Chains A and B, each alone.
Chain A
Amino acid sequence: MSARHLIAPSARNLMDVWLPPLCLLLAVCILWQLGMSNDIVSGMLLPRPTGVISYGVDNIAMLSAQALFTAWQAAASLLLAAFLGITAGTLIFASSIARDTFYPIILVLQVLPKVAMAPLFVVWLGTGDTARIAFGAFLAFFPVLLATTTGLEQTPQYALRLCRSLLTTPAQTFCFVRVPYALLHIFSGLRIAATLAVTGVVIGEFMTASRGLGYVIIDASNRIDSKALFAALMMLCIVGLVLFGLVVLVQRAFKAWYFGQSNYAGGA
Chain B
Amino acid sequence: MSEEHAENAAYISVSHVRKSYGSGNGAIEAVSDVTFSVKQGEFVSILGPSGCGKSTLLMLVAGLEALTFGDITVDRARVEGPRRGTGIMFQDASLLPWKTVLENVMFPVRISGQDWEPYSRRARELLAMVGLAGFEGKRPHELSGGMRQRTAICRALVHDPSVLLMDEPFSALDAITRDEMNVALLDIWQRYHKTALFVTHSIHEAIVLSDRILVMSKRPATVIADIRVPFERPRTMDIIETAEFTALAHQLRGLVEGRAAQRGKAVA
Chain B neighbourhood of A262, CB < 8 A: 138-139, 142
Q: Which of B82, B96, B139 contacts A167 (CB 8 A)?
A: B82
Q: Which of A158, A163, A180 contacts B98 (CB 8 A)?
A: A180
Chain B neighbourhood of A257, CB < 8 A: 98
What sequence of 0s and 1s flags, for each residue 70-112 of chain B, a beta carbon within 8 Å of any chain A beta carbon? 0000000000011110101010101011101000000110111
Chain A neighbourhood of B98, CB < 8 A: 180, 257-259
Chain A residues numbered 212-268 whose CB sits less than 8 Å from any CB in chain B: 257-260, 262-263
A162 at the interface (CB under 8 A from B): yes
Chain B neighbourhood of A159, CB < 8 A: 94, 96
Please state if A172 and B111 are interface contacts (CB–CB under 8 Å): yes
Chain A neighbourhood of B197, CB < 8 A: none
Q: How far is the CA of A197 from the CA of B107 in the complex (A)?
A: 39
Chain A neighbourhood of B112, CB < 8 A: 166-167
Q: How far is the CA of A161 from the CA of B81 in the complex (A)?
A: 12
Please state if B111 and A260 are interface contacts (CB–CB under 8 Å): no
Interchain nearest-CB distance for A118 vs B (Å) = 40
A5 at the interface (CB under 8 A from B): no
Chain A residues numbered 148-165 whose CB sits less than 8 Å from any CB in chain B: 158-159, 161-165
Please state if B90 and A161 are interface contacts (CB–CB under 8 Å): yes
Chain A neighbourhood of B139, CB < 8 A: 259-260, 262-263
What sequence of 0s and 1s flags, for each residue 63-105 of chain A, a beta carbon within 8 Å of any chain B beta carbon? 0000000000000000000000000000000000000000000
A177 at the interface (CB under 8 A from B): yes
A32 at the interface (CB under 8 A from B): no
B62 at the interface (CB under 8 A from A): yes
Interchain nearest-CB distance for A230 vs B (Å) = 45
Q: Which of B83, B97, B111, B142 contacts A176 (CB 8 A)?
A: B111
B64 at the interface (CB under 8 A from A): yes
Q: Which of A165, A167, A263 contacts B141 (CB 8 A)?
A: A263
Interface size of B by Cβ–Cβ distance < 8 Å? 24
Interchain nearest-CB distance for A195 vs B (Å) = 27
A168 at the interface (CB under 8 A from B): yes
Interchain nearest-CB distance for B111 vs A (Å) = 5
Chain A neighbourhood of B96, CB < 8 A: 159, 177, 180
Chain B neighbourhood of A258, CB < 8 A: 97-98
Q: How far is the CA of A163 from the CA of B96 in the complex (A)?
A: 11
Please state if B82 and A162 are interface contacts (CB–CB under 8 Å): no
Q: Which of A159, A161, A166, A177 has the most CB of B within 10 A?
A: A166
Q: How far is the CA of A31 from the CA of B27 in the complex (A)?
A: 71
Please state if B62 and A176 are interface contacts (CB–CB under 8 Å): no
Interchain nearest-CB distance for A26 vs B (Å) = 38
Given A158-B90, A259-B139, check contact A165 B62 (CB 8 Å): yes
Q: How far is the CA of A259 from the CA of B94 in the complex (A)?
A: 15
Q: Which of B90, B94, B107, B141 has the most CB of A within 10 A?
A: B94
What sequence of 0s and 1s flags, for each residue 93-133 of chain B, a beta carbon within 8 Å of any chain A beta carbon? 01011101000000110111000000000000000000000
Given A259-B139, A260-B139, A260-B142, check contact A164 B111 (CB 8 Å): no
Q: How far is the CA of A262 from the CA of B135 in the complex (A)?
A: 13
Chain B neighbourhood of A161, CB < 8 A: 64, 90, 94
Chain A neighbourhood of B90, CB < 8 A: 158, 161-162
Q: Which B residue's beta carbon lies closest to that of A156?
A: B94
Given A165-B64, A166-B108, check contact A260 B82 (CB 8 Å): no
Please state if A166 and B82 are interface contacts (CB–CB under 8 Å): yes
Please state if B141 and A259 are interface contacts (CB–CB under 8 Å): yes
What sequence of 0s and 1s flags, for each residue 168-205 of chain A, a beta carbon within 8 Å of any chain B beta carbon? 10001000110010000000000000000000000000
Interchain nearest-CB distance for B239 vs A (Å) = 32
Chain A neighbourhood of B138, CB < 8 A: 260, 262
Q: How far is the CA of A260 from the CA of B104 in the complex (A)?
A: 14
Q: How far is the CA of A262 from the CA of B139 in the complex (A)?
A: 9
Interchain nearest-CB distance for A268 vs B (Å) = 12
Please state if B111 and A168 are interface contacts (CB–CB under 8 Å): yes
Give me 13 other A-B pairs in contact (C-beta within 8 A), A176-B107, A258-B98, A259-B98 excluded.
Answer: A159-B94, A159-B96, A162-B107, A165-B82, A166-B108, A176-B111, A180-B96, A259-B139, A260-B100, A260-B138, A262-B138, A263-B139, A263-B141
B→A interface (CB under 8 Å) = 62, 64, 81-84, 86, 88, 90, 92, 94, 96-98, 100, 107-108, 110-112, 138-139, 141-142
Could you pull out 22 A-B pairs where Cβ atoms are within 8 angstroms? A158-B90, A158-B92, A158-B94, A159-B94, A161-B64, A162-B94, A162-B107, A164-B64, A164-B82, A165-B64, A165-B82, A166-B108, A167-B81, A167-B82, A167-B112, A176-B107, A176-B110, A180-B98, A258-B97, A259-B98, A262-B138, A262-B139
